[in-house]
Homo-oligomer: A and B are copies of this chain.
Amino acid sequence: MRRDSRLSRMLHVLIHMDRIEGAATSDQIAQMLGTNPVVVRRTMAGLRDDGYVHSEKGHGGGWVLTRPLSEITMLDIHRALGNPGFFAVGVAIDHPECLVEQAVNSALGSAFEAAENLLIGKFAAVTLADLADDFDQRMAQITAEPNCELT
């Protein structure tokens, strides 16, 4: 089953945005992500609606962060993307009145609920500033050459 990588991509983008001068255009971001600008706008629309970024038209326009990375958690971005379900596996509801199905789905459901709560807790605990710090540490260790337009 194909995986939704929007969260990973958006986190990546936002941290880069924090490090560059001025605005990043949808085109630049699209190239960085190996996709096209319309997809970028579609994805970032959620972040804009939730107030994490702002978009500006015209010359020198594009996307800018509207608040410091320290005030955005991974969970915030997940929510801004529409709070998509984390799981590719779920319960079947073929016979809602069947007690076997109920017993099975209750066991499955509580396991997934526990896993989801764990994920939510972990995501809420990490700000983008934490990720940026992690990046700095990695950068300090090995001085690697970034290979794309946005450094």
Contacts and interface: CB of A to CB of B under 8 A. Distances in A.
A92 B101 CA distance: 35
A84 B94 contact: no
Interface residues of A, number: 62
A148 B111 contact: no
A98 B147 contact: yes
Interface in A1-38: 1-5, 7-9, 11-12, 15-16, 32-34
A138 B138 CA distance: 54
B9 A88 contact: no
Given A12-B98, A34-B94, A135-B99, A7 B144 contact: no
A99 B137 CA distance: 10
Interface of A: 1-5, 7-9, 11-12, 15-16, 32-34, 74, 78, 84-92, 94-95, 97-108, 110-112, 114-116, 118-119, 122-123, 126, 130-132, 134-135, 138-139, 144, 146-148
Given A115-B115, A123-B111, A144-B99, A104 B131 contact: yes
Contacts of A11: 104, 108
A83 B58 CA distance: 50
A135 B99 CA distance: 6
